[in-house]
Structure 1
Amino acid sequence: MTLATAKSGDRAKAKHCAELLGTGPSIDELVPALSLLGERLARLLPGRLARFSGGEPPLVRIGMPMDCTLASIQADIETLASHALMAVGPAGLLMLATFEAAPVLRLIDRAFGGRGTVPDPLPDSFPLSAELLLARLEEALAEALTAVFGGVEEHKVRSLRRDTSLRYLNPFDKREELLQLSLEVEEPGVEPWSFSIAFPQSTLATVTATPRHPVRSLPRQTPDAGNEPYASVPVPVTAVLVDMMIGFSRLSALRPGDVLPVAIARSVPLQVDGRTIATGTIGEVEDRVAVQILQAF
């Protein structure tokens, strides 16, 4: 065996085998984690958004996680929008929040005593009042996400900068695969509004990681779902193929023959009482649509 000696002042760089280091989770593996993260966010965010709805916490609904890129996010936005680059923890793991102009301007009109009227046509840029509101929305989202991630300094979320152009914001490589989660905010008597957050795989894998060595606990007896009286209890299970948001004006204008383009998620969630219990892919068995389970938890 030959030993090679590095020159004085040089330090050899270690090279590690990919098989030993392992690779990060795939997007398919991260979809269930993002679904659970979204469910926790839907419970914690209303309290932070109450300041924008007259003190009453609104109802927050989450959409189905969708895989995307910066290019697809930009293509889905037809009008003015604000993109906020946010960082998680001291390491500065990045994520992106997107607020379209119409919901923001509707909130501003209501804050000044209006009924939530949106100017038509929409302006080419956000007024100062909108910039101030966007800063408060980002702060509320950061607080809720910090709580979702455990409320520790390691995962504290903060806003970095915002821009109406993803090109100038340049948050990630334009070809990087992202997972996007849409959230719809509902308040009594007013039109719902929505926004979205997108995570690179590396960020999502870190904030949803579980400890390698969990605290051991004494074994406990749990009911066996395969035995009576539980085995025969019917449980409604929903396979969510498409979960989309449509503006009320467009929804009210729908007519027979209209075509709505939809995107089918790569992993289809199976839900019981609104909670995701498994994910799978759509297929066919004996001429019937079927779901093949890929993950169950």
Structure 2
Amino acid sequence: MAAPDSSRGHAARSPARPPAHPPAHHCSELLGTGPSTADLVPAFSLIGERLTRALAVGLARLSGGEAPLVRAAMPVAATLATVEAGIAGLAAHTLMGMGVSGLPLLAIFEAAPVFRLVDRAFGGPGEVPDPLPESFPLSAELLLAHIETCVAEALSFALDGQGGEEHRVRPLRRDVSLRQLDPFPAHADLLTLSLDIEEPGLSAWSLTLALPTTTLAAATTTPRHGPPRRRRFVHPGPAEEPFASMPLEVTAVLVDMRLGMARLSNLRPGEILPVAVARSVPLQIGGRTLASGTIGEIDDRVAVQVTHAF
């Protein structure tokens, strides 16, 4: 008798399926997500501290006077719309680019401080026209170009500290209309930094920097490919910033004489004291002799020709 066919009366069985795998979860380090806006605030604050020192030196070199006091406020989160809403009236907006790829950042100069600086540059007390004009005159445009260069150099130092090309900042273009300038997408997350500049005996003025978080992240984070680049600190020399523009008072000692107390107490207006100018005139800073030279004349002015430097 033939064996019964066991396949009869049974449905065909489908091949077994492998068990489903749970969805993959990757950490932020693998995904390469950038730091959040809150994470970038402390980094931007540190950059702001370095920026105040570098900007003070640059502005002193620009004006030829004492270094002003520059203060940086805490960074504030913003968007292009909130930045535009905070500007009242005429202002100059300068788009700058960082590094070879030209990552964008924005510098904002309101009209009143600019006109005050222009008036002072021409010997005035720093008056502001009332009402403000609808555009900047050529004199203000030229001054803005100098201030932009000063801010860009200070930012390059603050972002890198060694003048590296990857963090070098350059002014690109300027416009009084923020919409026409169109520096970055309207929805981009920004961090703004306000800088207050105070000079002795003069009215304080301010400027604002706005950086997209993508630009700030590129300036403050280390690329994940390859080991982190070690920075070798190089002590700047006297011919380099921030020392190059530091004003120092140099004293040329033409006469060094001694008088007795009795003679000194009897001095009267009109009395003549015979003095002899030394052949070698010492040049001193803070009482310390750094060089010596001889007295001469150039362009109807008394001059010292340095003959020996220590």
Shorter-chain TM-score range: 0.5 to 0.7
Task: Say which structure, 1 or 2, has more relative contact order (CA 8 Å, 6+ apart).
Answer: 1
Query: Separation in 1 of the partners of 2:138 and 2:176?
Result: 14
Task: Tell me the secondary structure at the aligned position of residue 61 of structure 1.
Answer: strand
Query: Separation in 2 of the partners of 1:211 and 1:39?
Result: 24
How many residues align structurally? 200
Q: For 1:139, which of 139, 144, 149 is the aligned residue? A: 149
Task: Tell me the secondary structure at the aligned position of residue 96 of structure 1.
Answer: strand
CA deviation string 1:57-115 (max 9, x = no partner): 10100011001111111111111000000000101111000000000000000000001
1:153 and 2:150 equivalent?
A: no
Task: Tell me the secondary structure at the aligned position of residue 149 of structure 1.
Answer: helix
TM superposition shift of 1:153 = 1.0
TM-score w.r.t. the length of structure 1 is 0.64
| Aligned residue number for residue 271 of structure 1 | none
Query: Separation in 1 of the partners of 2:187 and 2:178?
Result: 13
Q: For 1:174, which of 175, 186, 189 is the aligned residue? A: 186
Q: Which protein is bigger by CA-based radius of gyration?
A: 2
| Aligned residue number for residue 105 of structure 1 | 115
**Unpaired segments ≥5 residues, structure 1:** 1-16, 217-297
The two structures, once aligned, show a CA RMSD in angstroms of: 1.7
Task: Tell me the secondary structure at the aligned position of residue 173 of structure 2.
Answer: strand
| Aligned residue number for residue 250 of structure 2 | none
Between the aligned residues of both structures, percent identity stands at: 61
Query: Separation in 1 of the partners of 2:98 and 2:54?
Result: 18
Aligned structure 1 segments of 4 or more residues deviating by more than 3 angstroms = 51-54, 210-216
| Aligned residue number for residue 270 of structure 2 | none
| Aligned residue number for residue 117 of structure 1 | 127
Query: Separation in 2 of the partners of 1:30 and 1:183?
Result: 18
Query: Separation in 1 of the partners of 2:141 and 2:60?
Result: 19
Which residues in structure 2 correspond to 1:65-80 (within 5 Å)? 65-80=75-90
Query: Separation in 2 of the partners of 1:186 and 1:40?
Result: 17
Query: Separation in 2 of the partners of 1:214 and 1:98?
Result: 34
| Aligned residue number for residue 105 of structure 2 | 95
| Aligned residue number for residue 55 of structure 2 | 45
1:186 and 2:195 equivalent?
A: no
Query: Separation in 2 of the partners of 1:122 and 1:84?
Result: 20
**Unpaired segments ≥5 residues, structure 2:** 1-25, 231-310
| Aligned residue number for residue 294 of structure 1 | none
> Using a 3 Å threshold, how does the CA distance of structure 1 residues 215 and 203 change in structure 2: closer, same or farther?
closer
TM superposition shift of 1:210 = 4.1
Task: Tell me the secondary structure at the aligned position of residue 138 of structure 1.
Answer: helix
| Aligned residue number for residue 253 of structure 1 | none
